[in-house]
């Protein structure tokens, strides 16, 4: 009798509680999905890792680098402030006449334009040279006895980073100069003289409103001792970052990366300084990152999926701008996710290089009703194979993770 009772008790205990080491069914399903692929996966919610697969392996993040850039940028610069463009000249004037040249000076705004098609591509106000010209006139200036010079300073004119393919400057990213003009492209080609083109267009805008400019425009560095005549600000930084992340703009990324580098380390902005600022931001939060650019074009960039979700988690826990960051990432069916994950509550940054794919951000979990950080990075799959794998993982996590 006692033996029978003991046997029933053992059977009851076995049926009512799974062993402590048992793995959840949804995790086993994820294991089967990722098996045989070179892929890292990490899912984190409220400081707890829900799922990991090769999450400590440092991989190429591709354009997930822009997500790292945005975090470092928002930590350094106020997301609500814009990027300024100035006009400098001689402080001494007789009447409304400026003797000598004036200098059109950029500080990293990628949206400077005289108007037209480039301005219309944005769903926000681009920085228009005509508005700046009116600000010059409003300061009392009627004549400039000299030329408009497009300032080539503030950023170095570097246009390459370790890990870039040789053809990237001609095909993937226009020159990231401090003073830009129509995205530094003309008729589909990347240009090398945006400062001159901006100065030429600005001269026309001034003359169109009655400010006489006596000499032809040019480009060059601004000498010391010039005074500010007028200025204009871009759309807020968070708006620029949202556009960058939504459409994965390499040009916006390297422009903002150079500005970040100049702010963080002083002197001229460079691609290398921007990358170093990203590394420093991550290192201060205990995450190892190797960065060579801000856009993610470099095949030599490295971060683990565990490192990525840890950074996102720290942002959510302590950064006052974390909701701005999350809301600025593409949702399903939008931007670079235009043909993917329709109806899935996700905010995530895509990444694609030849043989490299990534997707990182936040996914709203159905069972816990909370936003969880996630990161997926792979190598060696075809473009559609990688995107299909990412989508399967995201949908499975969305439905079953807890």
- Which pLDDT belongs to residue 94? 85
Name the token pair of 401: 């993770």
Distance CA 276, CA 16 (A): 54
CATH fold group of domain 84-235: 3.50.80
Model confidence at 20: pLDDT above 60: no
Q: Where are the chain's structural domains?
A: 23-75+241-400, 84-235
Q: Which class does domain 23-75+241-400 fall in?
A: alpha beta
- Nearest residue to 127 via CA among 74, 201, 210, 196: 201
The string of pLDDT tens digits covering residues 288-333 is 999 999 999 999 999 999 999 999 999 999 999 999 999 999 999 9
The string of pLDDT tens digits covering residues 201-247 is 999 999 999 999 999 999 999 999 999 999 999 999 999 999 999 99
Virtual torsion, Cα 55, 58, 63, 68, nearest 10 deg: 80
Binned at pLDDT 50, 70 and 90, residue 25 comes out as confident
The string of pLDDT tens digits covering residues 116-164 is 999 999 999 999 999 999 999 999 999 999 999 999 999 999 999 999 9
Q: How many CB atoms lie under 10 A from the CB of residue 159?
A: 18
Phi, psi of 339 (to 5 degrees): -105, 25
**What pTM value is reported for the model?**
0.92
Do residues 297 and 113 touch, judged by C-beta distance below 8 A? no
Question: 73: which residues sit within 8 A by CB, 6+ positions away?
Answer: 79, 237, 241, 256, 259, 260
């Amino acid at each position: 009798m006692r033996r029978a009772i003991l046997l029933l008790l053992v059977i009851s205990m076995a049926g009512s509680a799974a062993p402590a080491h048992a793995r959840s069914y949804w995790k086993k399903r994820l294991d089967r999905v990722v098996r045989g692929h070179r892929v890292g996966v990490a899912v984190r919610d409220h400081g707890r890792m829900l799922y990991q697969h090769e999450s400590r392996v440092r991989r190429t993040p591709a354009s997930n680098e822009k997500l790292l850039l945005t975090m470092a940028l928002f930590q350094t610069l106020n997301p609500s402030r814009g990027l300024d463009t100035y006009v400098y000249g001689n402080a001494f004037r007789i009447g409304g006449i400026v003797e000598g040249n004036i200098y059109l000076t950029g500080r990293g705004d990628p949206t400077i334009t005289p108007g037209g098609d480039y301005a219309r591509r944005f769903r926000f106000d681009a920085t228009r040279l005509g508005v700046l010209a009116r600000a010059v006139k409003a300061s009392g200036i009627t004549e400039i006895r000299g030329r408009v010079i497009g300032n080539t300073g503030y950023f170095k004119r570097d246009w390459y980073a370790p890990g870039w393919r040789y053809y990237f400057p001609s095909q993937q990213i226009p020159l990231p100069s401090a003073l830009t003009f129509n995205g530094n492209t003309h008729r589909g080609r990347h240009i090398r003289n945006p400062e001159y083109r901006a100065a030429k267009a600005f001269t026309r805008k001034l003359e169109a409103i009655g400010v006489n400019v006596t000499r032809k425009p040019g480009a060059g560095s601004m000498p010391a001792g010039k005074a500010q005549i007028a200025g204009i600000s871009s759309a807020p930084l968070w708006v620029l970052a949202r556009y960058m992340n939504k459409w994965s703009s390499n040009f916006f990324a390297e422009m903002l990366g150079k500005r970040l580098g100049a702010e963080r380390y002083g002197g001229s902005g460079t691609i290398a300084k921007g990358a170093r600022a990203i590394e420093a931001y991550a290192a201060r939060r205990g995450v190892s990152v190797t960065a060579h650019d801000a856009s993610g074009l470099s095949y030599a960039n490295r971060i683990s999926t565990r490192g990525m979700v840890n950074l996102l988690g720290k942002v959510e826990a302590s950064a006052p701008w974390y909701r701005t960051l999350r809301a600025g990432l593409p949702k399903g069916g939008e931007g670079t996710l235009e043909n993917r994950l329709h109806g899935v509550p996700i905010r995530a940054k895509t990444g694609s290089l030849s043989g490299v794919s990534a997707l990182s951000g936040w996914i709203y979990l159905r069972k816990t009703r909370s936003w969880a950080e996630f990161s997926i990075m792979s190598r060696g799959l075809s473009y559609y194979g990688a995107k299909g794998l990412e989508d399967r993982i995201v949908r499975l996590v969305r439905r079953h993770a807890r």
